[in-house]
Structure formats: C-alpha cells, structure tokens
C-alpha cells in the first residue's frame, strides 16, 4: 500500500443540494489522515479524520443491521 504524502482530490458521483443547485462532492485526502469534503463550485470545506470516518462507518453498519432485524415479540404482520 502506498503512503499518503501529498493531497489527492477526486470528484464523486454523489450530489448534494447546495446554494440552490445540485452539486457533485469533491473529496480530498490530505496527509497524514484528513478527508476534506466540499460541494463543487463552493469554497467551504468540511474535514474529518480517517479514524472518525471509520467510526461513523461502523456505527452506520450496526444501525443498518439493527433496522433489518425484526423486533422481539413482534410478528411479521405487525400485530403481536
């Protein structure tokens, strides 16, 4: 695996509604481990460290699994 030594930016296919328009998201990886997010054509950027992104991804996966499980004591029809 290659170490991150200089900033690398990429345009994602994801879009957000910003300043009245749908805009693509620009993602920049910056050493040592910072991810920057901004809407294309806008100046404001938002940063997260890689460890925080990892923790958010794990929490989202756990949350999705919990939503897929049926609740105890409930039947499939919703009455129980």
Residue 79 placed within a domain: no
Range of the domain at 28: 8-68
- pLDDT above 90 for 69: no
User: pLDDT tens, 2-58?
Assistant: 899 999 999 999 999 999 999 999 999 999 999 999 999 999 999 999 999 999 999
Whole-number Å distance between alpha carbons of 42 and 17: 12
Whole-number pLDDT of residue 27: 97
Whole-number pLDDT of residue 71: 67
Residue 26 placed within a domain: yes
**In sequence order, what E strands does the chain have?**
8-18, 21-30, 34-39, 45-49
Look at the chain and report how many structural domains it folds into.
1
């Amino acid at each position: 695996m290659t170490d991150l030594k200089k900033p690398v930016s990429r345009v994602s296919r994801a879009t957000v509604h910003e300043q009245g328009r749908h805009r693509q998201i620009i993602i920049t990886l910056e050493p040592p481990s910072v991810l920057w997010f901004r809407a294309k054509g806008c100046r404001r950027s938002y940063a997260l460290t890689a460890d925080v992104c990892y923790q958010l991804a794990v929490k989202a996966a756990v949350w999705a699994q919990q939503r897929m499980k049926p609740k105890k004591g409930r039947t499939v029809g919703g009455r129980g």
